[in-house]
Structure 1
Amino acid sequence: MKSELIVDVQPTEVSIALTEDSRLVSLQKESRNISYAVGDIYLAKVKKLMPGLNAAFVDVGYEKDAFLHYLDLGSQFSSYFQFVKQALEDTKKVPVLSKMKLLPDINKHGSVTDLLEKDMTLMVQIAKEPISSKGPRLTTEITFTGRFLVLIPFSDKISVSQKIKTTEEKLRLRQLVESIRPKNFGVIVRTSAEGKRVAELNHELKTLLKCWDDTVQKAQHADVPSLIFEEESRIVSMLRDVFSPSFESIHVNDVETFSQISKYVDLIAPERHDIVKLYAKDEPIFDHFSITKQIKSSFGKTVSFKSGAYIIIEHTEALHVIDVNSGNRSKASNDQESNALEVNLRAADEIARQLRLRDMGGIIVVDFIDMNKSEHRQALYDHMKEVMANDRARHNILPLSKFGLMQITRQRVRPALDVVTAEKCPSCYGKGEVQPSLLFTDVLKEKLEYLINDLKVTGFIMYVHPFVDAYLKKGLISLYRRWKIELGGKFQILPDQSLAYLQYKVIDNKKNEIDLAEEKDLETSSTKSKSKAKNRNNEE
């Protein structure tokens, strides 16, 4: 199976698309200025205790107070708090955790009021991003994640990934990590550590330990609340979670990001450094690899998947509901039972893909087409487990209920990805009336004249819908060619599949967008165009 990663870096957002045999299976979008992301560590203050919930609300600087439950304090909270208190009281030196004596574990069934007080200062880590109207969820069990290892201060436990199958390899890694880890630091050995040498693991462990020391030092001189640790590069942190040495290629359209990813791949898989490739064409990278079209067809309420069958996906605050419909597949076979099984099996493939693609978490309820035979229901359940096996998020699948419903729970640490596929009309701004599309070319020419003659901009690219691009460039002496001759030719017009029919955007030679799409401009341009057309008719 051919796996590729396509990274689209825009000024405000980064998108990473994972394809398998050119089919989109995972899409991650993240704002480049996002705050309160999973793994970030804050110096925060307890705002309010809620004994009824056995939790506290904590101020981390977000508009809504973050939520810290008693069970998220961690068994070693007493040792953790003693260390934090010592570090904040004496800011001249960083306390050495490996020289401390750990205190006994806290009571699993205790109360939050026994350990926390109002206005208490804590070091907290984001466990779940803000979702809907809720603030972030926190933990005081601090962890630092690397490619091979996860470092856990205030612990002496070593855990090895269950996905490493051989007992010999598990034992080797456990003994190896035991020999290099300092006292009072626990370690989780990740699946990617399988077969790695001690030098590689030791190097990463030292890097993670330095992150811990730097975070404590920053906390000693920080105001409350404030961010005291975040990943060096969000793009690299996103890549770390999806990267596999089996990738055939990684395409990226930004020079700086290309350099970051190349360094990361050189560090973790130096023999594969040549898979990272810089995409330098003017055509949008997602258009070139047919990602845009797949996004348009894969998101939205209704998703078709094979021979007319389709699924309907609805989102609520508490759960996601998926309904399977056979569409015109009902005419495909005289045997209703076998037809239902075929549609359900294909729907299971698409649902597994959609869960990864949209990063849907929490409770998912699937209403499959009713099947009477128990062996068919069992076959569907087994198939669903099989196609979900490659999903990295923790999940649990229950067999079909007597109502034909399948319940799935899937780990949720960030909001589900919701890509709006319906296009807002760029000409009427939702009013219901558009300017005459026949005059749209006049609008484009006026914008080009304004850019070149008034703003003196050169070397820019104007992106338009592919249909408009085809119209402008049709014929031997096309409109595009005439405009190039008339205006000096220091610009390009290229297609962009993500744009609506009467939409356009202009990118300068530094990859920055020039905002020209204002409603009043379009109205003025249309009025001018109508006047020009009227004058031409009068002259004729």
Structure 2
Amino acid sequence: MNKKLVITRINNRIISSVYEDLNMTEVNISEENTTGLHNIYLGRVENIVKNINCAFVEIEKGIKCYYSLDENTNHVFLNRKNSDKVNVGDLLLVQISKEGIKSKLPSLSCDINLPGKYVVLVRDATNIMVSNKIKDKNRCGAIKSLLNPLMNDTVNQFGYIVRTNAEMADDNSIFAEASKLKEKYEHIMEIAPFRGAFTQVYCSDPSYIDDIMNIKTIELESIITDEVDLYEELKSYFENGYSNELGKLKLYEDKLLSLSKLYNVEGSIRNAINKKVWLKSGGYLVIEPTEALTVIDVNTGKFAGNKKIKEDTFLKINLEAADEIGKQLKLRNLSGIIIVDFINQSTPENKQILWDAFDKIVNKDSISTTLVDMTKLDLVELTRKKIRKPLHETCNELFLKI
């Protein structure tokens, strides 16, 4: 199924949304000129909390972030040190790894990574890792051989993660991107020791360019925007390394019907945060995000199937619900702990069918999602990695008065 990426501006917010057959499947609402995901700073340690083994690091005047001392062990100190222990006043090279969500501060990492469309450069590795979604072993080996010379010719330790998009890309494009990321990384490591606290040494691409990098190239049919400045920025992005994709970029210029009205962007977002989601069978989901976790309840609703054959009826609704939940996780950007209350299945065979189908669905997600367990109460537990704010929060904080 071909996808269209629609990028527009509403109320001074940039709305980047993916459409499949005029249905919104993903959306990202971002505020311009904010402290962005993947930006790299020289931060100063302001406080250390021993009972939760973390530090709070100030990256700009008045902007503090959470720095886990359990997750971060290979620190990049920019001041003279006699040990590897983090102390108040230390200068650290850090990257924003997660956006702040509600009352939680943004999270920082010492494991610098620079994402590209085909590869991601990672500081905490010394080898080349390939996405497990690339099944062709010969192609995996060829890409590794292509990138190996870049690994050998460097004074800084790093590795590469090869993304799914690399499978169909030509070798010249992959090598050019990997070389550019290496140059950026070496520049960062070269200038960082000579900068002061609160210096931003790397500015990540805007979130709508991240969206382009995260979509499979072969699935992306077109990129449409009605904002001239965004069009020029996107054009520059494609001209500098991805010229083969430039033909997909289109500037929408119809003055009678705005791009947001054509694709019903506002209406689609309103629908995307409704608690109730109807299924084609007549069943429905109720999605309730809370501070601690998200709860999803599956109901038979107006299902018009044969209720005498309850077990088959319930399995049919559950399978349809599992597919829809996979879509809603991406559309609403739900993350953290998620509990799904499917309709109870009485036979172990049908429980396994549901589990296998749901596992296959969530494994297609580009964001790490893991099925954890099915409890004795038939509640399915899963987790989805937190990276950006969920849609309901960006709506409440940034977009209109939804």
Scaled by the length of structure 1, the TM-score of the pair is 0.66
Give 1:464-479 correspondences, 5 Å limit: none
Q: 1:38, 1:73 → 2: CA distance?
A: 17
Following superposition, the deviation at residue 209 of structure 1 comes to 3.1
Q: Compare the two structures and name the one with the higher strand fraction.
A: 2
Residues 334-389 of structure 1 deviation map (CA, whole Å, 9 limit, x = unaligned): 32222222221221122111100011111100111112122222222122123323
- Rounded to whole Å, the distance in 2 between the matches of 1:65 and 1:271 is 41
The percent of aligned pairs where both chains have the same amino acid is: 26
Match of 2:39 in 1: 40
Structure 2 equivalent of residue 246 of structure 1? 219
* 232 and 336 in structure 1: CA distance in 2 versus 1, 3 angstrom threshold: closer
Contact 2:124/2:159 (<8 A) preserved:
no
Q: Which residue of 2 aligns with 1:209?
A: 182
Deviations 1:277-325 (A, max 9, x none): 1111232323212444333333222222224322111112221001111
1:123: Cα distance to partner? 1.0
- Rounded to whole Å, the distance in 2 between the matches of 1:196 and 1:24 is 27
Relative to 1, partners in 2 of residues 1:383 and 1:63: Cα closer, same or farther, differing over 3 Å? farther
Whether the 8 Å CA contact 1:245–1:272 is kept in 2: the answer is no
Structure 1 stretches of at least 4 aligned residues deviating more than 6 Å after TM superposition: 419-422
Give the corresponding residue for 1:25.
25
- Contact 2:102/2:393, CA 8 A, preserved across alignment: no
**1:119 and 2:89 are equivalent in the alignment:** yes
> Which moved further from structure 2: 125-134 or 261-270?
261-270
Unmatched runs of 5 consecutive residues or more in structure 1:
90-112, 423-497, 501-540
Q: Per-residue displacement from partner, 1:438-465 (whole Å, max 9, x unpaired)? A: xxxxxxxxxxxxxxxxxxxxxxxxxxxx
Q: Does 2:185 align with 1:186?
A: no
1:144 aligns with 2:90: no
Deviation, 1:194, is 2.6
How far the C-alpha of 1:204 sits from its partner, in A, is 2.0
1:286 aligns with 2:227: no
Structure 2 length normalisation: TM-score?
0.87
2:253 counterpart letter in structure 1: A
Shift of the 243–168 alpha-carbon distance from structure 1 to 2, 3 Å rule, reads: closer
Q: How far does residue 272 in structure 1 lie from its aligned partner after superposition? A: 4.0
CA RMSD of superposed structures (Å): 2.9
Please show how residues 241-320 of structure 1 align to structure 2 within 5 Å: 241-242=214-215, 244-267=217-240, 269-282=242-255, 283-320=257-294
Higher RCO by CA contacts (8 Å cutoff, separation 6 or greater) = 2
SS class of match (2:392): coil
On the 8 A contact 2:226/2:251 being kept in 1, the answer is yes
Structure 1 CA distance, aligned partners of 2:132 and 2:394? Answer: 38
Give the aligned partner of residue 53 of structure 2: 54
- When structure 1 is superposed on structure 2, of 220-229 and 392-401 the one drifting more is 220-229
Q: Return the offset for 1:267.
A: 4.9
- Greater shift, 356-365 or 289-298, is seen at 289-298
Secondary structure class of the residue paired with 2:279 = strand
Instruction: Give the 5 Å matches for 1:165-184.
Output: 165-181=135-151, 182-183=153-154, 184=156
The answer to which of 254-263 and 217-226 deviates more is 217-226
Q: Structure 1 residue 161: deviation in Å?
A: 2.2
Name 2:365's counterpart in structure 1: 391
Structure 2 match to 1:66: 65
- Larger Rg: 1 or 2? 1
C-alpha distance in 2 between matches for 1:355 and 1:165: 25
What CA distance in whole angstroms lies between the structure 1 residues aligned with 2:232 and 2:242? 15
Query: Which whole-Å CA distance do the structure 1 matches of 2:87 and 2:394 have between them?
Result: 44
Number of residue equivalences: 394
- What secondary structure, in the 3-state scheme, does the structure 1 residue paired with 2:360 have? helix
More deviation, 53-62/120-129: 53-62
CA contact (8 A) 1:147 1:190 kept: yes
Matches within 5 A, 1:516-535: none
Partner residue in 2 for 1:367? 341
Partners of 2:40 and 2:203 within 8 A in 1: yes
- 3-state SS, counterpart of residue 204 of structure 2: coil
**Does the C-alpha gap of structure 1 residues 307 and 292 become closer, same or farther in structure 2, counting only changes over 3 Å?**
farther
SS of the aligned residue for 1:329 comes to: coil
